């Protein structure tokens, strides 16, 4: 294999394409497997989403980034179904950045998030597949001189029974690409689906099981610099002065620049960049920084409960209801910490300027259009001169979806300040990630409920204090989603929110507002049901009534799956939780014991209704992963500010992740459905916390008043 | 106020910071001369050596169960590890999966974890030599007991305490860790004098 | 100058001897299957085999591997590796995939030492490998599957 040495010879991942490492300085690299560029120029394009190569390979261009939730496989399944392709011939690759052609139909711009990949693409991708199929059939009809209506397509074979003619896709690809595309191709009756609804193997599994999958951190360009930025340990701090003499003395360090985001060190390799950054002595200006500790912030938030708050939901007359006689009133406060997303791959990007003045960015972009605009602005080039090459991302959980693209602005600032003569890889360490802000905000919930003498919940008052994710003035729906839309029939209900403003940047975190509202609501309803002498499952079903059949459906199914009411091993208790998020309904039951004074979760049963299941294998995986991600957070995770506002945690030793021995067994039931499909990336997360918390309350008699559980006063 | 980012601190002064502030000291042998009763002197010598033996730096790898601890607060080792059949960790995640033949300074990473400790024979003390949670008297009796000390004679113990590399790690625990008091030579001298005075144990 | 073998090939590295093996493998040898996740031996994403035993390359100065054999995900081979990778693929273990090279290197090392591991053996060997996607249910199952394959 010839090693390219031009600047454009770089190792990158265009979807499932396997790149090749540059000839490294010093010694020869192993030759990595190299595939043809799927979706490359010259491969017949049927529409913006489908390419059919002359070897018969079908490549689906995914407008959604792949970071584990399975959109490459899911979107390709939708295309392949209507195309009648054989799954073995199907590949997926990242679509280029284009806010119009590749718009998320629910956002209006290109973007991945909110568990929308399948929901917004279901019809669009099926139409793309059906269109391509019609064009292949038209090409066959013309070639064979037979009526298109007599042609069949099954598992990648195009056939005309009467004449005995048969062909694969590849032989007809060039001609088919020139055929007119039908405006409104007929889509299959779901009863005729052969791929949708089956456990197809994921398209990215092999590359990710062999070390060949290429992530942004793996992109290597000829002559590339590695840059790292020293950031402050206080939010809102800025650089006052810097002594970079020692940094510049590190062999391999080429330059040091002060930027709005911190101090950038440029080096020939990652190690030199790390050493150089470590050698900086930076004096930070804290005059505008957050200098309160977490405890002070919590106390300040608590004081805000005295305010009325913005009313998000009102039913009946709450004040009158609480004033009633003969009631049992329970009041609870729950404190939620700041949470970092901590995806396995820290944030990173590779930027390079080409001879024609255009800029290529390689990164894991949830909002590629936003990133593109940020780069154009910061680097001072026209938008048309910026290309985003979306890579596999090593997890995100919301971290890579940022309006205004602050991370990419930093990367672009680093690149621009370098003079843009050489490609730059900008890399964060784990510490940059844990201390980098854009957290799930800290929230305080105050809940008050009243039971009548028969144990019925007659009044519910909930006040939420915390930062707004959307910075939308006085009220932000994402603060109260999952609380203001309570499905339970409670006659007198009021939900209010008070938004706070502080210099700690916040962001959506896998399941957004539901991360805390789901916990608060499902913990409190469970406690009220217990106080009222009701069974957690039967009690919820009664509160749901007959107007919430899909809620009731998953709850009934999970109870059946777990043999609710059956025998439980000694020393264990079970907790239930039910939550709808992103239009997907999930119920979970957790079986928990006390081990070393802390919860030990043995098994979790999950029932999920996400409409028409596209790939149950992926759905089950997302429920398993959602349970593990949510469980790690409620057991261990918090980012806290110490005295003076310095961030306490910094890496996985003090920002604990769930590990394999802490992972419960997970059993998932996917509800069969013909409803429109909805997302599965996030909805598995919200119920696990309250399910475990409810079991914990039954084990210890103590409701959860503070997360994470490891920080709380435990049994 | 000068606010330095963690990694700046870690780096500039890498070599200088290797030994954190004010290492505690051991009393010199001569200070025990005033104790005329030999048995009492022996007990006092061992009690002084106990400043080393009962230091978290030593106790962390002499656990009574199968999990080593870390830090001056002796929290469970993170990531979680177990003793394993040969006191060398679990199959697939041995001590040597992370701990090398020498301490390794970590550059530009966590300010609360600035080096990974290492020594040529990094491993846990056998369960028979567990110290954590025991009284100094119990530890003393155990140290003398060939059934529990790996078949060592008292002379072997003096040699081990005075010259073993892994014991010696306690005085050079790597950046970010408080060393045990004194020096290995002083500690060895205390143990030697303790043996010479009859190796009497505290109650 | 530090010399060692990387996936069977002779390597001579004349840079900073303190450079962690991870960055020599990635930046200099261009083998990017081995990942950076934490830099402090907490997450296991950088796991390689050093003279046949699992080793976190992020805390391994290259100077300490003089004369050693280093194997990465790109070069791992043998019955255990084949069985593990086949099981990984069969169960669609990876989600984002970033940690999986390290998971596989740890799992292969486990099976080389313990051909039929119990759940406790798996917990002990794999507890040092973090997966933020929490693919642990399938990792455990895949290791059992690979053990069954090896048993024949």
Residue A712 confidence class, pLDDT cut points 50, 70, 90: low
pLDDT above 70: residue A40: no
> Hey, what are A528's tokens?
């009220």
Q: What is the model's pLDDT at position B15? A: 36
Number of domains present in the structure of chain A: 3
In a domain, A15, yes or no: no
Q: What DSSP string runs through A319-362?
A: HHHHT-SS-EEEEEEEEE-BB----SS--EEEEEE-TTS-EEEE
The residue among B171 and A712 whose pLDDT is bigger is B171
To the nearest whole angstrom, how far is the Cα of B3 from the nearest Cα of chain C? Answer: 24
Both A254 and A320 in one domain: the answer is: no
Unique residue bearing structure tokens 């990595």: A32
CB B116 within 8 A of CB B157: no
CA-based nearest residue to C57, from C74, C71, C76, C75: C71
Q: What is the pLDDT of residues A489-538, one digit of tens each?
A: 999 999 999 999 999 999 999 999 999 999 999 999 999 999 999 999 99
Could you please state the CATH topology (level 3) that the domain comprising C2-71 is classified under. Answer: Ubiquitin-like (UB roll) (3.10.20)
- Asked if B93 and C125 come within 8 Å (Cβ–Cβ), the reply is yes
Both A496 and A453 in one domain: the answer is: yes
CB pairs under 8 A between A and B: 78
In a domain, B7, yes or no: no
Q: What is the mean pLDDT of residues A200-218?
A: 95
Q: What is the mean pLDDT of residues A413-421?
A: 97
Both A466 and A380 in one domain: the answer is: no
Residues of chain B that touch chain A, judged by Cβ-Cβ distance less than 8 Å: 1-8, 10-12, 78-80, 107-113
CB C70 within 8 A of CB C4: yes
Q: What is the mean pLDDT of residues C102-120?
A: 98
CA-based nearest residue to A348, from A262, A233, A219: A219
Between A246, A654, A661, which is nearest B80 by CB?
A: A661
Give me the sign of the Cα torsion angle A686, A688, A691, A693. Answer: negative
Mean per-residue pLDDT over chain A, rounded: 92
CATH, residue A642: 3.30.365.10
According to DSSP, residue C28 is labeled I
Q: What is the mean pLDDT of residues A313-334?
A: 97
Q: What is the model's pLDDT at position A22? A: 34
Q: What is the model's pLDDT at position A540? A: 98
In a domain, B17, yes or no: no
In a domain, A643, yes or no: yes
Both A269 and A409 in one domain: the answer is: yes
- Asked if C134 and A625 come within 8 Å (Cβ–Cβ), the reply is yes
Q: What is the pLDDT of residues A566-607, one digit of tens each?
A: 999 999 999 999 999 999 999 999 999 999 899 999 999 999
* Nearest residue of C to residue A202, measured between CA atoms: C92
pLDDT above 70: residue A625: yes
In a domain, A56, yes or no: yes
CA distance A151 to A174: 18
**Residue A143 forms contact with C (CB below 8 Å):** no
Q: What is the mean pLDDT of residues A601-630?
A: 98
For β-strands A492-500 and A457-467, DSSP reports them as: parallel
Number of domains present in the structure of chain B: 1
Domain boundaries, chain C: 2-71, 79-151
pLDDT above 60: residue A361: yes
CA-based nearest residue to A33, from A52, A53, A51, A13: A13
Residue A98 confidence class, pLDDT cut points 50, 70, 90: confident
Q: Could you tell me which residues are beta bridge partners of residue A593?
A: A572, A600
**Helix axis angle, A616-636 to A688-700, nearest 10°:** 50
Between C72, C75, C98, which is nearest A395 by CB?
A: C98
Using the 3D structure, point to which of A401, A427, A453 is the last residue of a domain. A427
The domain containing residue A680 runs over which residues?
294-339+439-711
Q: Which residues contact B98 (CB under 8 A, 6 or more apart)?
A: B116, C41, C56, C59, C128
Give percent of chain B with pLDDT exceeding 90: 84
Residue B108 confidence class, pLDDT cut points 50, 70, 90: confident
For β-strands A359-363 and A310-315, DSSP reports them as: unpaired
How far is residue A463 from each of residues A449, A517, A704, measured CA to CA in Å?
Answer: 12, 11, 17
The domain containing residue B42 runs over which residues?
27-74+125-196
CA distance B24 to A41: 71
Both A519 and A380 in one domain: the answer is: no
- State the CB neighbour count (10 A cutoff) for residue A210: 21
A contact chains, 3+ CB pairs < 8 A? B, C
Q: What is the model's pLDDT at position A47? A: 85
Element (H, E) at A243: strand A238-243
**Residue A234 forms contact with B (CB below 8 Å):** yes
- Asked if B92 and C54 come within 8 Å (Cβ–Cβ), the reply is yes
Q: What is the model's pLDDT at position A403? A: 85
Both A401 and A327 in one domain: the answer is: no
Q: Angle A113-A114-A120 (CA atoms, 0-180°, nearest 5)?
A: 85
**Residue C40 forms contact with A (CB below 8 Å):** yes
pLDDT above 50: residue A26: no
CA distance A252 to A272: 5
- Asked if B3 and A275 come within 8 Å (Cβ–Cβ), the reply is no
Mean per-residue pLDDT over chain C, rounded: 97
In a domain, A595, yes or no: yes
Q: What is the model's pLDDT at position A473? A: 67
CA distance B165 to A421: 51
Q: What is the pLDDT of residues A422-443, one digit of tens each?
A: 999 999 999 999 999 999 999 9
In a domain, B19, yes or no: no
How far is residue C16 from each of residues A28, B68, B98, C2, C37, measured CA to CA in Å?
Answer: 19, 33, 21, 10, 22
Q: What is the model's pLDDT at position A513? A: 97
- Window 649-668 of A: residues touching C by CB (8 A cutoff) are 651-653, 657-661, 663, 665-666
- Asked if C61 and B84 come within 8 Å (Cβ–Cβ), the reply is no
Give percent of chain A with pLDDT exceeding 90: 89
- Asked if C121 and B93 come within 8 Å (Cβ–Cβ), the reply is no
Give percent of chain A with pLDDT exceeding 70: 93
- Window 63-102 of C: residues touching A by CB (8 A cutoff) are 72-75, 85, 88-89, 92-101
Share of chain A residues as helix, strand and coil, in percent rounded to the nearest 5: 30, 25, 45
Both A97 and A173 in one domain: the answer is: yes
Q: What is the model's pLDDT at position A17? A: 26
Residues in chain A closer than 8 A to B65 (CB atoms)? none
Q: What is the pLDDT of residues A218-275, one digit of tens each?
A: 998 889 999 999 999 999 999 999 999 999 999 999 999 999 999 999 999 999 999 9
Both A585 and A694 in one domain: the answer is: yes
pLDDT above 70: residue A713: no
B contact chains, 3+ CB pairs < 8 A? A, C
Q: What is the model's pLDDT at position A42? A: 58
ipTM over 0.95: yes
CA distance A695 to A699: 6
To the nearest whole angstrom, how far is the Cα of C59 from the nearest Cα of chain B? Answer: 7
Q: What is the model's pLDDT at position A711? A: 74
Q: What is the pLDDT of residues C30-60, one digit of tens each?
A: 999 999 999 999 999 999 999 999 999 999 9
Q: What is the mean pLDDT of residues A30-36?
A: 26
Both A406 and A528 in one domain: the answer is: no
Q: What is the mean pLDDT of residues A91-114?
A: 91
pLDDT above 90: residue C20: yes
Both A157 and A243 in one domain: the answer is: no
In a domain, B61, yes or no: yes
Q: What is the model's pLDDT at position B23? A: 55
Both A594 and A658 in one domain: the answer is: yes
Residues in chain C closer than 8 A to B93 (CB atoms)? 54, 106, 124-128
Give the helix ranges, DSSP H, for chain C. 21-23, 79-90, 100-113, 119-126, 136-151
pLDDT above 80: residue A31: no
Could you please state the CATH topology (level 3) that the domain comprising C79-151 is classified under. Answer: DNA polymerase; domain 1 (1.10.150)
Q: What is the mean pLDDT of residues B84-108?
A: 95
Q: What is the mean pLDDT of residues C136-151?
A: 98
Q: Which residues contact A341 (CB under 8 A, 6 or more apart)?
A: A395, A396, A397, A398, A399, A438, A440, A507, A509, A510
In a domain, A433, yes or no: no
Residues in chain C closer than 8 A to B97 (CB atoms)? 47, 53-56, 128
Q: What is the mean pLDDT of residues A356-381?
A: 95
In a domain, B21, yes or no: no
Q: What is the model's pLDDT at position A328? A: 97
The pair phi, psi for residue A456, each rounded to 5°, is -85, 140
Burial string for B156-166 (b: 16+ CB within 10 Å, else e) reads ebbebbbeeee
């Amino acid at each position: 294999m010839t090693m390219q040495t031009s600047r454009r010879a770089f190792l990158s991942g265009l979807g499932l394409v396997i790149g090749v490492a540059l000839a490294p300085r010093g010694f020869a690299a192993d030759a990595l497997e190299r595939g043809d560029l799927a979706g490359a120029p010259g491969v017949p394009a049927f529409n913006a989403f489908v390419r059919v190569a002359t070897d018969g390979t079908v490549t689906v261009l995914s407008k959604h980034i792949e970071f584990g939730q399975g959109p490459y496989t899911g979107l390709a399944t939708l295309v392949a179904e209507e195309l009648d392709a054989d799954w073995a011939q199907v590949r997926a690759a990242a679509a280029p950045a284009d806010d119009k052609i590749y718009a998320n139909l629910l956002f209006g711009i290109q973007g991945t998030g909110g568990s929308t990949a399948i929901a917004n693409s279901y019809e669009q991708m099926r139409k793309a597949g059906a269109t391509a199929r019609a064009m292949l059939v038209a090409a066959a009809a013309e070639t064979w001189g037979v009526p298109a209506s007599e042609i069949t397509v099954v598992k990648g074979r195009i056939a005309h029974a009467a004449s005995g003619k048969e062909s694969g896709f590849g032989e007809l690809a060039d001609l088919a690409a020139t055929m007119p595309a039908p405006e409104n191709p007929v889509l299959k009756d779901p009863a005729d689906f052969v791929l949708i609804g089956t456990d197809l193997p994921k398209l990215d599994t092999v590359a990710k099981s062999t070390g060949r999958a290429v992530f942004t951190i793996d992109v290597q360009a000829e002559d590339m610099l590695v840059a790292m930025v020293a950031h402050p340990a206080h939010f809102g701090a800025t650089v006052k002065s810097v002594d970079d003499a020692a940094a510049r003395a590190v062999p391999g360090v080429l330059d040091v620049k002060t930027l709005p985001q911190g101090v950038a060190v440029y080096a020939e390799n990652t190690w030199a960049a790390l050493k150089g950054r470590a050698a900086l002595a930076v004096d930070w200006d804290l005059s505008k920084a957050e200098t309160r500790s977490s405890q002070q912030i919590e106390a300040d938030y608590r004081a805000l409960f005295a305010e009325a708050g913005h009313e998000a939901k009102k039913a009946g007359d709450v004040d009158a209801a609480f004033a009633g006689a003969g009631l049992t009133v329970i009041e609870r406060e729950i404190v939620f910490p700041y949470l970092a997303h901590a995806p396995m791959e820290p944030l990173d990007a590779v930027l390079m300027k080409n001879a024609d003045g255009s800029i290529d960015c390689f990164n894991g972009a949830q909002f590629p259009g936003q990133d593109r605009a940020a780069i154009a602005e910061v680097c001072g080039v026209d938008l048309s001169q910026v290309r985003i090459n979306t890579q596999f991302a090593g997890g995100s959980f919301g971290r890579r979806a940022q309006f205004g693209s602050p991370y990419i602005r930093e990367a672009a600032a680093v690149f621009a300040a370098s003079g843009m003569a050489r490609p730059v890889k900008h890399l964060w360490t784990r510490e940059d990630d844990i201390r980098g802000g854009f957290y799930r905000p800290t929230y305080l919930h105050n809940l008050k409920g009243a039971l009548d003498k028969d144990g019925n919940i007659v009044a519910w008052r909930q006040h939420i204090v915390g930062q707004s994710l959307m910075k939308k003035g006085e009220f932000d729906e994402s603060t109260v989603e999952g609380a203001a839309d309570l499905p339970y029939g409670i006659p007198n209900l009021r939900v209010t929110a008070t938004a706070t403003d502080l210099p700690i940047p916040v962001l959506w975190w896998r399941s957004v507002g539901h991360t805390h509202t789901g916990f608060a609501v499902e913990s409190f309803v469970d406690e009220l049901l217990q106080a009222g002498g009701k069974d957690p499952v039967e009690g919820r079903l009664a509160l749901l009534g007959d107007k919430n059949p899909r809620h009731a459906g998953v709850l009934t199914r999970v109870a059946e799956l777990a043999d609710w009411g059956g025998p439980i091993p000694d020393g264990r208790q079970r907790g239930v939780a039910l939550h709808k998020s992103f239009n997907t309904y999930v119920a979970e039951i957790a079986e928990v014991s006390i081990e070393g004074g802390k919860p030990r979760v043995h098994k979790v049963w999950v029932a999920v209704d996400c409409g028409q299941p596209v790939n149950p294998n992926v759905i089950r995986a997302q429920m398993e992963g959602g349970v593990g991600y949510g469980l790690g957070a409620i057991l261990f995770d918090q980012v806290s500010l110490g005295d003076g506002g310095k961030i306490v945690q910094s890496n996985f030793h003090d920002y604990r992740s769930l590990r394999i021995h802490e992972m419960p067994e997970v059993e998932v039931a996917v509800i069969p459905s013909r409803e429109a499909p909805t997302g599965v990336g996030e909805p598995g997360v919200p119920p696990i916390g309250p399910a475990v918390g409810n079991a914990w309350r039954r084990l210890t008699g103590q409701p959860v008043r503070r997360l994470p559980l490891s920080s709380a006063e435990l049994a | 106020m000068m606010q330095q980012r963690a990694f700046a601190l870690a780096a500039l002064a890498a070599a200088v910071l290797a030994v954190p502030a004010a290492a505690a000291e051991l009393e010199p042998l001569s200070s025990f001369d005033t104790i005329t009763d030999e048995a009492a002197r022996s007990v006092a010598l061992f009690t002084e050596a106990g400043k080393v033996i009962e230091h978290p730096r030593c106790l962390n790898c002499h656990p009574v169960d199968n999990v080593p601890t870390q830090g001056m607060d002796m929290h469970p080792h993170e990531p979680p590890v177990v003793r394993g059949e040969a006191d060398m960790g679990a199959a697939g995640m041995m001590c040597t999966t992370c701990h090398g033949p020498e301490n390794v300074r970590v550059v530009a990473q966590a300010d609360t974890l600035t080096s990974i400790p290492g020594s040529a024979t990094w491993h846990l003390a056998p369960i028979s030599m567990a110290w954590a949670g025991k009284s100094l008297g119990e530890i003393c009796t155990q140290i003398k007991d060939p059934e529990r000390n790996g078949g060592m004679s008292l002379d072997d113990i003096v040699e081990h305490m005075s010259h073993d590399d892994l014991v010696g790690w306690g005085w050079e625990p790597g950046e970010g860790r408080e060393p045990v008091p004194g020096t290995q030579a002083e500690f060895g001298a205390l143990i030697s004098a303790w043996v010479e005075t009859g190796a009497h144990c505290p109650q | 100058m530090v010399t060692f073998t990387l996936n069977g090939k002779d390597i001579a590295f004349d840079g900073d001897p303190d450079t962690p093996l991870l960055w020599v493998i990635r930046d200099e040898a261009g083998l990017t299957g081995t990942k950076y996740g934490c830099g402090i031996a907490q997450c296991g994403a950088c796991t390689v085999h050093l003279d046949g035993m699992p080793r976190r390359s992020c805390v391994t100065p290259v100077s300490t591997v003089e004369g050693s054999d280093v194997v990465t995900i790109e070069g791992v081979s043998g019955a255990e590796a084949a069985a593990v990778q086949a099981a990984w693929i069969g169960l669609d273990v990876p989600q984002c995939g970033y940690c999986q090279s390290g998971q596989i290197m740890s799992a292969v090392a486990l099976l080389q030492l313990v051909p039929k591991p119990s759940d406790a053996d798996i917990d002990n060997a794999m507890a040092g490998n973090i997966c933020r996607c929490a693919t642990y249910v399938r990792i455990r199952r895949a290791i059992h599957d690979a053990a069954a394959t090896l048993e024949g």
